[in-house]
Amino acid sequence: MKNAEGRTPRELFTVELKILLHSGEKWMKNTATSCMIVATLIATMVSSAAFIVPSGNNEKTGIPIHLIETAFHVFAISDAIALSFYSISILMFLSIHTSAILPLIHKLMKHSARAARPAAGLCADLASAIFSGCAKNGFALVRPPGHHASVRQSMGFCLHNNAAVAALVAQTAGVKKVLIVDRDVHHGNGTQEIFEQNKSMPWTYL
């Protein structure tokens, strides 16, 4: 079986996987750079707040003018808490997002296509079994359902749009109308793209 471009599933997902690996590495580097820029800005603001006392200090004693006021104590405590959380978050980020994580991601993604194909096949077989009468109903225990995968691109940890595969198999078998209900907190952009021109395949997002 080949697609419109004449590529088999294996050829298609081999290419897609290489693109995902390259894009993922580039995204991580850009994200790390952006986070470090934001961290620098936060550090600048927190440091400024830590060393610049509201209303200044008494010129004779050097003690903050509002030292005895409750609002000043609240400011000092909140500033200390903010500085602590900032330091902890930076240390956590640096301990996780290092160059050592890239080989791990490559290792995890190496067999993703091989694991995703049976999931899509299961959904297709289930739809066929229900339509043919071999099964009254069914539940495909696969993860993820693939609602981010579109016609030409895999994204959002979705290599195949399993829900779309099942719906199209059912439609090809003779089912006139199929309803896809997506209750994920994320928008199923891939499913929308696949079926937005197909009037016989209504799709709703909850």
Residues identified as active-site: 148
Distances (CA, A) of 174 to 127, 133, 156: 11, 13, 31
Using only C-alpha atoms, the chain has a radius of gyration, in whole angstroms, of 27
Rounded to whole angstroms, the Cα distance separating 199 from 144 reads 25
Give residues with Cβ within 8 angstroms of 91, minimum separation 6. none
Q: What is the DSSP letter of 70?
A: H
Report how far apart the first and last C-alpha atoms of the chain are (Å, whole number): 34
